Amino acid sequence: MNAPVETTAEAAALATDFRFAFLCSTAGHYRLVRDGHESLNDGFDAVVRLHDAWFALDPECTVCGLAPCQSPTFCNSCRKADYRRGRR
């Protein structure tokens, strides 16, 4: 009766997949809104913020200004050179 439950490879993969965690979070907000513990606006805003934090596009490169950076190796070398020269 108290034997550990064996998990399948699929269940283990779901437990570590950020997409599954995102779905769990959105389901939680759905339940809070449905049961009247959270307003629709607050629940929706929370899900949008979570989406933006997890699935945001690459930020603009501080060297070349492109998003995503078209030459990460070159821009990283420039960034290091600027740092060594004290330009930060």
pTM: 0.49
| Beta-carbon count within 10 A of 11 CB | 10
| Beta-carbon count within 10 A of 43 CB | 19
Rounded CA gap, 3 and 81, in Å?
59
Q: Write the pLDDT tens digit of every residue in 10-26.
A: 656 656 677 888 888 89
- DSSP-assigned letter for residue 36: T
Q: Write the pLDDT tens digit of every residue in 33-65.
A: 999 999 999 999 999 888 887 776 667 888 888
